[in-house]
Structure 1
Amino acid sequence: MQTLIGRREALRLGGAAALSSLAMPAWASALGDSPRRAILHNLHTGDRFNAVYFENGRYVPQALAEAMRVLRDWRTGEEHMMEPGLFDALHAINTRLETNRPFQIISGYRSPKTNAMLHAKSKGVASQSQHTLGKAVDVRIEGLQLTHLHKAALDVSAGGVGYYPNSNFVHVDTGRVRRWSGS
């Protein structure tokens, strides 16, 4: 078991290191080279992340690896590489909202198995979800009106933004720019 854990950790850090060399999304270049922080709280696992994931003009591999662990599929425990631009989108949203409150994570990465199960239960879950690609997160911020979070996500224009007022979350992804409302 010790070897397997060591191997997983090595793969995760190696993948994060590879991501750190990727160019940031064009829209994120407006963020500049200033340090960027993500503040996350996974409501299902209780895991938290509050660290700088980008500094000195590059992504910080260890910080990305830890943030990705917090966004794992809580139903299966599976982890997946999350697109660094997703963290940039969350940072930009927090900056726009002028808050340092954590994003409460409803859903981050979804394994194909989890996504298929959810899709079978609800037409509101896309069969080819950005969640399965590590490009999406469903969030809310405690004490903040959901309409404000929704507007900030739309203003950032990082990708898709779904508004789910009845379920009390906003979907943010780094796919193509689009918008929709659900329940």
Structure 2
Amino acid sequence: MSSRRKFLQKSLFLTASGLFSTELALTSSKAYAKDAAVAASPDAPGLMEPPPDIFDAQLVDLEFWLKPRVLEVTRPASGESAKLLYWKDGEIQESAYQQLCHLLRDVQGKKTVPIDPKLLETLWGTQAFIARYGIVQPLEILSGYRTPSTNQHLIETGVPAARKSLHLEGRAADIRLAQLDADVLGGLIRSFRQGGVGFYYRPGNRGGWIHTDTGLQRTWKG
């Protein structure tokens, strides 16, 4: 348990160090934040129109990465949801981390593996960043870890899946946010520069998703 905790702490420290130097979107316009909050309300129809300057060239401040990290996720495939404090005072919270690994498990294959802390960092950073604009929503996890058999089944049924997918290593997730445009979500994740970002567009307001992983930096559309 001690060795795992040290590994997780080191991984999160290295990830955060890299993210400190990443150029991310910040805006000083309170009007845009107010508009985003209104658009994200339950009464707002359709997809949210993002603030025009949501990718401002300022740097995210250090305090953003030092505050406690609470990740709220929902898993449509299993009907589960959770809001977990998984990192605090520079340390991973083991119980919450284990719960997140379970939530990102292969639901069909019924198998749970350790999830890359860098992936959790990207998911949390995305959610915490848009919360600055009044958009407070759980991340929908469509796919996390996959067993080889599940991945092969997806390939055989025509679902986009790579034979050497990072999903097989617990280093990738397919996600979406209700009412948030996929281009905005994918663009934000790409700005973290922590790995690959895939844009998967499908008909309908909730038909597509964004793939994020901790592999080489690359972008594609599927």
Q: How does 1:41-120 map to 2 (within 5 A)?
A: 41-98=74-131, 99-120=135-156
Paired position in structure 2 for 1:20: 8
CA apart distance, 1:174 = 0.8
Please state if 1:176 is matched with 2:216: yes
Q: CA deviation at 1:77?
A: 1.3
Identity %: 26
Offset of residue 56 of structure 1 = 0.8
- C-alpha spacing 1:81/1:15, structure 2 compared with 1 (3 Å): farther
Q: Deviations over 1:36-81 (max 9, x none)?
A: 1211100100111211111110111111100111111111211111
Conservation of the 8 A alpha-carbon contact between 2:11 and 2:117: no
Secondary structure of the residue aligned to 2:66 is coil
Aligned counterpart, 1:132:
168
Q: TM-score, normalised by structure 1?
A: 0.84
Deviates more, 1:119-128 or 1:60-69: 119-128
CA contact (8 A) 2:139 2:177 kept: yes
Larger displacement relative to structure 2 (135-144 or 18-27): 18-27
Instruction: Note the 1:27-46 alignment, pairs <5 A.
Output: 27-29=15-17, 30=20, 32-46=65-79
How far does residue 83 in structure 1 lie from its aligned partner after superposition?
A: 0.5
- How many correspondences in the alignment? 170
CA RMSD of the aligned region, Å? Answer: 2.0
Cα distance in 2 for residues equivalent to 1:127 and 1:44: 22
State the match for 1:165 in structure 2.
Answer: 201
Residues 20 and 60, structure 1, Cα contact 8 Å, conserved in 2? no
Q: Distance in 2 between matches of 1:102 and 1:112?
A: 28
**Aligned in 2, Cα 1:25/1:159: closer, same or farther, shift over 3 Å?**
farther
Range that drifts further, 173-182 or 88-97: 88-97
> Judging changes above 3 Å, is the alpha-carbon distance between structure 1 residues 19 and 67 closer, same or farther for their aligned structure 2 residues?
farther
Which letter maps to 1:139? I
For residue 187 of structure 2, what is the aligned residue in structure 1?
Answer: 151
Unaligned runs of 5+ in 2: 21-63
TM-score in terms of structure 2 length: 0.70
What is the CA–CA distance in structure 2 between the aligned matches of 1:178 and 1:40, rounded to whole Å? 25
Relative to structure 1, is the Cα distance of residues 26 and 18 closer, same or farther in structure 2, using a 3 angstrom cutoff?
A: closer
Aligned residue identity for 1:172: T
Q: 1:57 to 1:25 in 2, by over 3 A?
A: closer
1:124 Cα offset (Å):
2.6
Structure 1 position 22, deviation (Å)? 3.2
